[in-house]
Amino acid sequence: MTNSFKEKLGEGDYGGIYKGNLNGHPVAVKILKATKGNGEEFINEVASISRTSHVNIVTLLGFCLNRKEKALIYEFMPNGSLDKHIYNQDSNMGWEMLYKIALGIARGLEYLHRGCNSRILHFDIKPHNILLDEDFCPKISDFGLAKLSTRKESIMSTLEARGTIGYIAPEVFSRNFG
């Protein structure tokens, strides 16, 4: 599927992402590293993203769980992640395109918080986890830190801060906010 992992698309905290081919269509294959514990990030990702269907959420096409080997298969995003565009001085993204992307991200987050059968809190929204399709439509990805809650719950309890330093919501990091 990945042609012996020849084309690496990126590297995350939990493993590498490779370009693959599934039935003649390009896909992104995320190979998860062996982790300590019970593989909570894998379970979180499959459980949360498999419940979604929205234009601004990346589509999980399948997964593989074979003893210690874990892989997630996603739709391929030809324009990569948002960070590669906004931190690139040669990028030709104008304000109109950035506005369209910000609006798409907001719509995706609203769907996760209000549109799903279960509320999904992502906990790791950052430019690296926003993928762009061929039309630069943004799609939220990487649900490894996500938490599910019932629609009736209005307060989410977390014992530890989740997310990337610099992107963590203040109310998650410090109990004095929110």
Backbone angles phi, psi at 177, to 5 degrees: -105, 155
Helix ranges (H only) for 4-134 are 40-49, 83-86, 95-110
| Three-state secondary-structure class, residue 105 | helix
Q: Would you say 130 and 141 are in contact if contact means Cβ atoms under 8 Å apart?
A: yes
Contacts of 90 (CB under 8 A, 6+ apart): none
Residue type, 53: S
**Contact criterion met (CB below 8 Å) for 73 and 22:** yes
Judge whether 126 is annotated as a binding position: no
- 124 catalytic per annotation: yes
From the candidates 13, 83, 90, 124, which is the catalytic residue?
124
Binding-site positions for ATP read: 30
Residues with a known catalytic role: 124
